[in-house]
Each structure stands twice: as structure tokens, then as C-alpha cells.
Amino acid sequence: MGPLAGIKVLELAGIGPGPLCCMLLSDMGAEVVRVDRIEPSGLGVEKLPKFDLLGRGRRSVAIDLRKKEGAQTVLRLVERADGLVEGFRPGVTERLGIGPADCLARNPRLVYGRMTGWGQEGPLAHAAGHDINYISLVGALHSVGRAGEAPVPPLNLVGDYGGGGIYLAFGVVCALLEASKSGRGQVVDAAMVDGAASLMTMFYALRAMGIWTDRRGENLLDTGAHFYEVYETADGNYISVGAIEEKFYAELLRLTGLEGISLPAQMDRVKWPEMKETLASVFKRKTRDEWCAILEGTDACFAPVLSMEEAPRHPHNVARGTFVEVDGIIQPGPAPRFSRTQEEVQGPPPKPGQHTDEVLAEWGFRPEEIRTLHASGVVK
């Protein structure tokens, strides 16, 4: 049903951004087949696969990529695929015999998506790293945090997922669109360091304009401004306000009872700390629910700060179906939405190797070939 229905993608099992990319492709209707290891990966998903939510909506085959016959099996599958996604360090798939040259020789229309932290080349290309390292190198981590305090890692949303998995999915879909016109595949080099830098574009623009500084916690969107901040309420919960525009700020003042009081100008940065104390005192007078009754749904740019336990139950999220239940587990649903080719979660995460025989059969392997692969330990 989704806009990518009919697209076939092979996913070489990995962690983090690669699985997110393939979850997004699957949610949009692509048929994703994950190539898992024969032996347990050590990540724990084999024991509790139903909780591997990034692995939802695809089928799994287990292939021993260390064996020559395993690589040949993957290349046979490549012949019928539109795309392949892998997240190994540079050069690993080449050594296994399933690198871009090997795969494109079998299928010249193939889109070969590569997910790395540092990219396929450069001084750091072969170094180990994680999200926190990639966002450090592009100015993103330095910019997140409060004044006078250490930088705060924003979970692993900016590097792994925002700059990694989502950019890889975007790149794969772009290359698929181009291949539909040219008949030629290509390699998509998606690096988390590049994607995280791309996400910082607006802030580099603001800095060039002289209205953003490298002193974190003193700028418009980094908790420097009193009208773009998180405040504690009387019951120990928190609310957020983001009343940047003048008319929205006026509404915030009106609804909090500050309208008509002699206050500094909204953009008087020298007075921001003082105004932050004023608003903090005001919000401390009522509970979060009481402030929701006053501010939610207005143009004051307000929202309660909800936990993951609370978020799926919020009326707005319920009305939009933002969260869905699959196999008894509440989880975020597919995004974005389409008016005609409806997106959906295609099913729960598979057990590694759960669909080996049926996928091989559907993708062109004869029964005797499948039996031979089992007997030799190439598949499981």
C-alpha cells in the first residue's frame, strides 16, 4: 500500500542508523529482507527479537557471510533487489566479496546504500566511533547545553538517527528515483558526520549573520531566551514554551498574567536571565495540568513535557495515531503520512533467520539448492 510498494531492499544486519533506515523504507511499503548472521551477534536481539522495534516490518534470512558460498548467496539475492543497505566499516563488504563492485556487476540497477560514522574516506574513515563523536566534530554537541555547563548529548538522535538513518533513507530513495530514469544504480555514501553537519546549516547561517555565538545557553534556541525554555511546575513536572514571534509572545504574557506589567523588551538579551526568573516563578504557581488547561491549544506555543509513558496517551497523539500497537508493544507509527499510498507497519520484528527458506524460494533458489545451503551450514 505504501509509496515504496514493489521495491525490494536487502539489509545486511547492523545496529542503529542502518536498521532505522530500513524501518522507514519498510513502513513506506518496501519489501525489506534482512541478512542476519548464522551465529548470535551479541546484541541481545536474538533472545528478545520482538523488542527490536527498529527491525519491524521485514523478513530475515540467516547467511554465513564468512563463507564464499554465503557471499554468492547474497549476490544471487542482489540480482533481484532494487537496493542494498550495509553499515560495516569501509572495506569490509569488499573483503567479503559483496562490495559495490561485486553487487553492481550482478545488478547494474542496484542502489548500494552505505552507512558509516566518518564516511568511506578521510583521515578518520577507519576509526571506531559513535554518535557522540560524530556530532562533536561538526559543532553540534558543543552547541547543546546550558550556559556555564558542559555540553549535553541529545540522546543519539542527531548523529545516529537524524544525520545517519534518515539521510541514508533519503539518499536511497533519491538514488532509486534516479535509477528509474537512467536505468543505472550507484553507491550512496551516507556518513553520520556529514548528516549531522547538514542538520546544523541554519545555525551556521545564524552565526555568519552575527546573531548566534559559540557560547551555548545564551542564544535564541539553546535555552538562552526566556521565551524558548523549559520550566518546572508546582507538582515537579515540566512544561515547554517556544513563543518566538512577537504575537505569540504577547499571547504567552497575556495567559500567564504578565500582560500590562512593565517588562523589558522581548529581544533585550541582557534582560533574558531576569525574565527567565520571572517566568520560572510564574510557572511554579500551578501544576502542569493546570497550565495545560490555560495554555494548551493556544498560540502561546506551549506543550507539556511528557514522558515516554505519558506520550502515547496524549489526546493529540491518540487522534492522529502517532503511536501504534504491534504485537502487544506500543511504538511510534510510520511517518510521514500519504493521502493515497497509505503507509503502515508491515509486521513485528522477525527472529534472525525466521524466513530463510521462503525468501530464498521466492527470490529464485530451487529446493535442492536450499537443501545444499543448509547442509553446508551456509544458511540457517
Kindly tell me the burial class for residue 210, based on how many C-beta atoms sit within 10 Å of its own C-beta (0-12, 13-18, 19 or more). exposed
Catalytic annotation, pick one of 130, 299, 357, 374 = 130
Q: Cβ contacts of residue 294 below 8 Å, gap of 6+? A: 255, 286
Does residue 236 come out as left (phi exceeding 0), alpha (psi in the -120 to 50 range) or beta? left
Catalytic annotation, pick one of 131, 160, 189, 222 = 160
How far is the C-alpha of 299 from the C-alpha of 307, rounded, in Å? 23
Question: ∠ at Cα 198 (43, 124), nearest 5°?
Answer: 55
| Burial call 134-161: b when 16+ CB within 10 Å, e when fewer | bbbbbebbebbbeeeeebebbebebbbb
Please say if 289 is a catalytic residue: no
Question: ∠ at Cα 356 (365, 36), nearest 5°?
Answer: 120
Whether the Cβ atoms of residue 27 and residue 51 lie closer than 8 Å to each other = no
Does residue 243 come out as left (phi exceeding 0), alpha (psi in the -120 to 50 range) or beta? beta
Helix, strand or coil, per DSSP, at residue 249: helix
Please say if 130 is a catalytic residue: yes
Whether the Cβ atoms of residue 10 and residue 33 lie closer than 8 Å to each other = yes
Strands 83-86 and 8-12: parallel
Question: ∠ at Cα 195 (192, 199), nearest 5°?
Answer: 135
What Å distances lie between residue 314 and 151, 221, 224, CA to CA?
31, 25, 29
Q: Which residues are catalytic?
A: 130, 160
